Structure 1
């Protein structure tokens, strides 16, 4: 299983009945394809949709419905679409139970950097900053290391922050972390991955939970 699919599948297990969940572009949006059977979650796209589902096929694709990354979506029964002002009123009004966002870096004080690398072109921060302070729960989904093998799970972010101290959970292709006492709390490891490997590839300080589990993906 590829790294991005591991993350998307694990993210989907955090969805609960009745939750309004905003999905960022990339891996977070991919999690819509792996929602467990029987879980009735209301997915929000910040560009103006509520209650969308998995990626459509050729038989049910509609060119006028897309998620925050511009990829096609399936509108489920009872879905609604609206302007972006209404969408951000939902976010800023505290009506989003959880948001799932990608990141460039996270730090052990639960901060996140996910919008710019200085000196490189960036299209803008989008709705990330609104979501990070407006959602009741923030789940970060990212690959554990970059293309050179350097950890993205840091003691302190080196890139400009999107928000400080707001992250609830970090899900990577190797592990699931929460936070405790200003450090990462290792809760789960991916199938075939050891605790020692996770610690070796994590630049931040790690507390190992006394009951570390294998990701149920």
Structure 2
């Protein structure tokens, strides 16, 4: 059986090293915060100027002075700090984040990332801090569905959408499989509700397995 969104978020959370400084992208990656162990020491950063961010909370519990980059209300953890946008981006660009987890429209076999614009005439481009994170974080992980609604693969030989960053993605987490992108190619580490052979028949990217 393929993974649900909650199970996928739990899987990513379990792989984040204890004590890491982490940025969670807008959308599905924000759910990872719900699955981080309080004793893991993981510190969440958001580009709108907060370090020590907690999880997203319902509007009924919101303090609207505390939001993530997607304007969702969040909690603050003990020791949380606030700072200017410019300082936040300096953290991102300066290599101070261990991991960032982002969504994507496409990831290439070489680890290229396309997640800010589909190139469609009516699409609204929204790059935000994605380019800064793509080049500044020590590890870039992607959390996405493996196929579009029309069945097109999102893990591709080369991106056809405008790039966010080149050769930056190291891991891809999807509902059907998890992948590690290396200089030697794409390695499948786990599959969910699909065999390795079936996966290979649906993707144009050459795959190896652990």
Could you tell me the TM-score, scaled by structure 1's length? 0.89
Q: What CA deviation, in whole Å up to 9, does each residue of 1:177-196 have, x standing for no partner? A: 11244421001112x33223
Q: How does 1:142-153 map to 2 (within 5 A)?
A: 142-153=144-155
Could you tell me the TM-score, scaled by structure 2's length? 0.92
Rate the CA distance shift 1:109–1:58 in 2: closer, same or farther, 3 A: closer
d(CA) in 2 for partners of 1:116, 1:123: 5
Q: How does 1:149-160 map to 2 (within 5 A)?
A: 149-160=151-162
d(CA) in 1 for partners of 2:38, 2:49: 25
SS in 1 for 2:145: coil
Q: What CA deviation, in whole Å up to 9, does each residue of 1:141-193 have, x standing for no partner? A: 11011101111011111111111111111111111111244421001112x33
Structure 2, unaligned runs of 5 or more:
none
Q: Partner residue of 2:84?
A: 83
The 8 Å contact of residues 177 and 184 in structure 1, kept in 2 or not, is answered as yes
d(CA) in 1 for partners of 2:203, 2:10: 21
After TM superposition, what 4+ stretches of structure 1 lie above 6 angstroms from structure 2?
Answer: none
d(CA) in 1 for partners of 2:16, 2:159: 28
The 8 Å contact of residues 3 and 143 in structure 1, kept in 2 or not, is answered as no
Q: Partner residue of 1:49?
A: 50
Rate the CA distance shift 1:115–1:197 in 2: closer, same or farther, 3 A: same
Q: How does 1:124-139 map to 2 (within 5 A)?
A: 124-139=126-141
d(CA) in 2 for partners of 1:155, 1:183: 10
d(CA) in 2 for partners of 1:105, 1:157: 6
Q: Partner residue of 1:187?
A: 189
The 8 Å contact of residues 3 and 176 in structure 2, kept in 1 or not, is answered as no
Q: Partner residue of 1:35?
A: 36
RMSD: 1.8
**2:67 matches 1:66:** yes
SS in 1 for 2:92: helix
Q: What CA deviation, in whole Å up to 9, does each residue of 1:183-215 have, x standing for no partner? A: 21001112x332233223323111122xxxxxx
d(CA) in 2 for partners of 1:198, 1:10: 20
Structure 1, unaligned runs of 5 or more:
210-217
